[in-house]
C-alpha cells in the first residue's frame, strides 16, 4: 500500500446518512434505542462511507465524522477537565445569518487526554475497515481556547493563560502519542482560528477580550508545535484552516497574511488544508512563505458549501496562479472544508458530495498524473 501524502485528499467530514440521523434522534431525544443499537447503525454507516471514498479513487479515507454531532466539541467534551454545557437557544455562536446550536465548552478541572477517549476506538474501527490509508481529524489545540469564554474557564491555575496553553499543549501531545499507539500514521488537526484571525471583526473581538491577535497567532503555533514535535518520523500531521462551515454558511473573512509565517514556519505541520473557494479567503500570495521541502499545501478551490461543480479547466487556472507562489510539486487538491462540520450538514445532496470527491481525484490525475 502506498503512503501519504497523496495529491488527492479531503478534510474529513461527510454528510450524515439518514440512518445515522434517525438513530441519533432515537437515542438522544426519544431514548428509544440503546447505545449498542446506535453504534451498530454508525458502524454500518462508516463502512458505507469508506466504500464511497474508496470507490471514487481516494487513497486516504476518514469515518466522515459520522459518530459526531460537532467537528470539535465531541472531541473536547471527552477530554478530562472539559464539559459541554447547553444554554439558551439565542446564545449560540453566530454564523452568516444563522446561529449554531447553543453548546458551550467549559473547562472545569485539570486538562488531560484520557486513555479511553472514544475517538481512539473510532480510529481503530476505521483502520479495520479500509484497504487504503485511514485518517482521523480532530480539533487543534487552539480550538479549546478560542471557543471557550473566559468566564467558562474555572480552575484558578488557568486564569494564567500561559499555564492554560502549556496544559493544552501537554494534553495534545498525549493525544498524538495515543493515536500513534492505536495505529494512526496520519492525523489531521483542524486549527481554523489561524484563518479567523485574519478577519478584522474577529481580531477586534479578541482585542476586546484582552488579547493581541498577533500574539495569539504565535501562541497557537507554539501549542501546535509542542503537541506534535515528538511524534515518530512515520507519523504525518495535517492541519485544516477555514472561516467557518455550518449549514453552508460562514463566520469569518480575510486573508492568511497575518498568520502565514506562523502557519508554515512555526507549527511543524506537514500538510496544510486551506480554504480558497471564494474571495473571502484572500489572495494566494501568502503561499510564498512555504519553504521548499516536503511540506504540502492543499488549496481548497473546490467548495463544499454548494453543489455547483467546478470544472477541471477552472481548477487548472487556479493552480497555475498558485504555482507562481509555490512549487506545483508541493501542492495537492482537496475541498475547502468538510461536507458536514456538524450533523446538520451543508446544503448539498449526497450526489453532489460524490461528484465533488470524484472531481478531487480527477483533478489530481489531470494535473499530477496520479491521485
DSSP 238-257: EEEE-S--BTTB-S----ST
Predicted confidence at residue 248, as pLDDT, reads: 61
Answer yes or no: are the C-beta atoms of 142 and 201 closer than 8 Å: no
Give residue-wise pLDDT tens across range 128-154: 999 999 999 999 999 999 999 999 999
Work out the percent of the chain whose per-residue pLDDT is above 90.
Answer: 87
Under a CB-based contact definition with an 8 Å cutoff, are residues 78 and 160 in contact? no
On the question of pLDDT at 320 being above 70, the answer is yes
Q: Which residues contact 304 (CB under 8 A, 6 or more apart)?
A: 11, 245, 335, 336, 337, 338, 339, 346, 348, 353, 356
Q: What is the pLDDT of residue 229?
A: 98
pLDDT digits (tens, 9 = 90+) for 1-48: 688 999 999 999 999 999 999 999 999 999 999 999 999 999 999 999
Dihedral angle of Cα 121, 123, 125, 129, to the nearest 10 degrees: -170
Question: Which pLDDT band holds residue 96 (cuts at 50, 70, 90)?
Answer: very low
Percent of the chain surpassing pLDDT 70: 94
pLDDT at residue 90 above 80? no
**Cα–Cα distance measured from residue 66 to residue 45, given in angstroms and rounded to the nearest whole number:** 7
Span 245-259, mean pLDDT?
78
- Identify the CATH assignment for 18-368 out of 3.10.580.20, 3.30.465.10, 3.20.20.210, 3.40.50.11890: 3.20.20.210
- Least confident range from 37-46, 166-175, 217-226, 342-351: namely 342-351
Are the CB atoms for 331 and 300 separated by under 8 Å? no
State yes or no: pLDDT of 307 exceeds 60: yes
For the chain, the distance separating the N- and C-terminal CA atoms, rounded to the nearest angstrom, is: 14
Mean pLDDT computed over 184-202: 94
Domains of the chain, by residue range, sit at: 18-368
pLDDT at 99: 39
How high is the pLDDT of residue 103? 85
Minimal CA–CA distance to 347: which of 316, 301, 307, 292? 307
If pLDDT is split at 50, 70 and 90, which confidence band does 94 have? Answer: very low
pLDDT of 104 higher than 90: no
Instruction: Report the pLDDT value the prediction gives residue 249, as an integer from 0 to 100.
Output: 67
Amino acid at each position: 500500500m502506498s503512503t501519504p501524502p497523496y495529491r488527492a485528499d479531503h478534510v474529513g467530514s461527510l454528510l450524515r446518512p439518514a440512518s445515522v440521523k434517525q438513530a441519533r434522534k432515537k437515542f438522544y431525544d426519544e431514548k428509544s434505542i440503546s447505545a449498542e443499537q446506535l453504534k451498530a447503525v454508525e458502524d454500518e454507516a462508516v463502512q458505507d462511507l469508506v466504500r464511497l471514498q474508496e470507490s471514487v479513487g481516494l487513497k486516504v479515507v476518514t469515518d466522515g465524522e459520522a459518530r459526531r454531532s460537532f467537528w470539535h466539541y465531541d472531541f473536547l467534551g471527552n477530554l478530562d477537565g472539559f464539559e459541554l454545557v447547553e444554554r439558551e437557544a439565542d446564545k449560540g455562536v453566530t454564523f452568516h445569518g444563522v446561529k449554531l446550536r447553543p453548546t458551550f465548552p467549559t473547562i472545569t478541572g485539570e486538562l488531560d487526554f484520557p486513555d479511553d477517549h472514544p475517538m481512539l476506538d473510532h480510529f481503530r474501527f476505521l483502520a479495520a475497515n479500509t484497504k487504503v490509508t485511514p485518517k482521523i481529524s480532530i480539533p487543534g489545540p487552539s480550538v479549546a481556547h478560542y471557543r471557550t469564554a473566559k468566564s467558562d474557564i474555572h480552575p484558578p491555575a488557568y486564569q494564567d493563560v500561559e499555564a492554560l496553553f502549556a496544559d493544552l499543549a501537554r494534553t495534545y501531545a498525549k493525544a498524538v502519542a495515543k493515536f500513534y499507539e492505536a495505529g494512526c500514521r496520519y492525523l489531521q488537526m483542524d486549527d481554523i482560528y489561524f484563518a479567523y484571525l485574519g478577519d478584522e471583526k474577529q481580531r477586534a473581538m479578541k482585542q476586546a477580550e484582552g488579547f493581541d491577535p498577533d500574539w495569539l497567532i504565535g501562541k497557537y503555533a507554539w501549542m501546535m508545535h509542542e503537541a506534535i514535535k515528538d511524534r515518530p518520523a512515520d507519523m504525518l500531521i495535517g492541519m485544516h484552516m477555514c472561516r467557518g462551515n455550518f449549514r453552508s454558511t460562514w463566520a469569518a473573512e480575510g486573508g492568511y497574511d497575518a498568520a502565514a509565517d506562523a502557519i508554515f514556519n512555526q507549527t511543524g505541520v506537514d500538510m496544510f488544508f486551506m480554504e480558497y473557494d471564494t474571495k473571502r479567503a484572500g489572495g494566494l500570495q501568502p503561499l510564498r512563505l512555504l519553504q521548499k521541502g516536503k511540506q504540502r499545501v492543499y488549496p481548497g478551490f473546490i467548495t463544499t458549501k454548494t453543489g455547483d461543480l467546478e470544472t477541471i479547466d477552472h481548477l487548472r487556472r487556479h493552480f497555475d496562479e498558485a504555482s507562481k507562489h509555490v512549487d506545483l510539486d508541493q501542492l495537492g487538491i482537496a475541498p475547502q472544508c468538510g461536507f458536514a462540520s456538524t450533523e446538520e450538514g451543508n446544503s448539498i445532496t449526497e450526489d453532489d458530495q460524490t461528484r465533488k470527491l470524484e472531481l478531487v481525484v480527477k483533478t489530481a490525475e489531470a494535473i499530477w498524473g496520479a491521485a
